[in-house]
Structure 1
């Protein structure tokens, strides 16, 4: 694979919502993880605890999460509700959702079809692997969560650079207890989100659209 420029990697990265079943070779996955390990963190604490789930264990985990979802059993380590977002932030979320459902041909009023599409999160959108990101609780958790975010972004960019794709999924964090139980993870490790990843199925409608980003003037203020 020819080496990509950094700007190409950044601009080609997008959230992948349909994957080919082919597993990522172990040597390629290790290179991605080595790249991600170089992410910055407060005082070089490197607080991320990453669990890569594949194969039969991945299938068992998805089955357990789907069962808990069906039964209405879920518990978040960290709160998340789109209703808490206001103004432009909520509008951006709505725009993203509308673009996705339009791309896969699901009408706004088709509630059952939308629910089915949402539950694809819990089967990892067909990805052969999922990276579950855990962290220790430290203070108010903001600094550690920021470190975890920098790790995740580096991981996502490394995936793109290796011809792979991924999608960060807050929804997986809603089943943190289930995931800890299935994978025998210490309850003191907290999980904000996971990242499903693999080779993108670029023929799937879910991967044919791109959502726009705000102009830098909306996010950046220059002083001096």
Structure 2
């Protein structure tokens, strides 16, 4: 693991989602450092609305079995909706489809091979082999949007801190699909809602799933400038 300082631009642009990990655990001091970096995230009115459960070792293995069983029995219990149909027709859905095609293509899985695609998706529930997973819970404030935004900023700090330490991580929406299973296993109160989880550890760089990088849209597709010349061409 590297301890040298990394320029922020390099750090932010080199971070990527890791989908295969080595089994070796992360040192406790490194995990604490990541949590301290994440804790520095901004939040609305400084509410710091995150409650984070880090699961490792035997507890990690047992929870994975519970999640895989819940998936087999189709016991979904998401606290928040997720439906590709909500992306509408156009840009967002196109990006989601391109992401799936790129990922499965890198793994050598054909679009028509539903069994292989399902097996690949279920690897989420074994945390892609990561030795650690953090579950990010939030309170139900109003419509939840501001608290969820705060959780997002916490998660980004968490992920960037992993990258700075030579570690890898992946934010997993799928873990939130089984919120009741996770809450029951971890003895989490029902009023805390599970947004997603982050599996983390040392990336297995030899895995095909880690051998590609998703591009980002051009700034012109997401940024509108007002009296800010010279940033996007000569407009």
Q: Same fold by TM-score, threshold 0.5 exceeded? A: yes
Q: Deviations over 1:116-164 (max 9, x none)?
A: 0010000000000000000000011111110000000111001100101
Paired residues for 1:165-176 under 5 Å: 165-176=168-179
Paired residues for 1:25-174 under 5 Å: 25-86=27-88, 87-174=90-177
- The CA distance in 2 between the partners of 1:140 and 1:83, in whole Å, is 21
Residue 214 in 1 paired to residue 212 in 2? no
- The CA distance in 1 between the partners of 2:212 and 2:61, in whole Å, is 28
The alignment's C-alpha RMSD in Å is: 0.6
Aligned to 1:10: 12
- The CA distance in 2 between the partners of 1:120 and 1:170, in whole Å, is 13
Structure 2 counterpart SS, 1:175: helix
- The CA distance in 2 between the partners of 1:25 and 1:118, in whole Å, is 28
Bigger Cα Rg: 2
Please list every run of 5 or more consecutive structure 1 residues that lacks an aligned counterpart in the other structure: none
**Cα distance, 1:3 vs structure 2:** 1.2
Please list every run of 5 or more consecutive structure 2 residues that lacks an aligned counterpart in the other structure: 228-235
Residue 188 in 1 paired to residue 184 in 2? no
TM-score scaled to structure 2, two decimals?
Answer: 0.94
Count residues with an aligned counterpart. 224
- Please say which of residues 197-206 and 79-88 is displaced more in the overlay: 79-88
Structure 1 runs of 4+ with >2 Å offset: none
- The CA distance in 2 between the partners of 1:157 and 1:83, in whole Å, is 31
- The CA distance in 2 between the partners of 1:152 and 1:10, in whole Å, is 13
- The CA distance in 1 between the partners of 2:126 and 2:85, in whole Å, is 25
